[in-house]
Amino acid sequence: MDNKMVDIMLHIDEEIDSQEREILRDTLLHTDGVMAADTHDTRPHLLIIEYNPDVIGSSEFIHIAQRSGLHAQLIGM
């Protein structure tokens, strides 16, 4: 079985601390089709997500951020 993987960057508008970023990252990691999600303290507004587009659409990442009370945009890579 061939797994298609795509990377996308999620830009968070709000300033969130490292604990809030960890919670969002963990939520993403527990989402079907997401293989990896990473954030870094030097760029707290950005999360890089690796996912299978055959399992989940990229717009779902915006909805996940919104359910966490955040505003976000997708940035293609």
55-67 residue pLDDT tens: 999 999 999 999 9
pTM: 0.88
Dump pLDDT digits (tens) for 11-70: 999 998 989 999 999 999 999 999 999 988 888 899 999 999 999 999 999 999 999 999
Q: Map out the domains of the chain with their CATH numbers.
A: 6-71 (3.30.70.100)
9-44 burial code (b ≥16 CB/10 A, e <16) = bbebeeebeeebbeebbeebeebebbeebebeeeeb
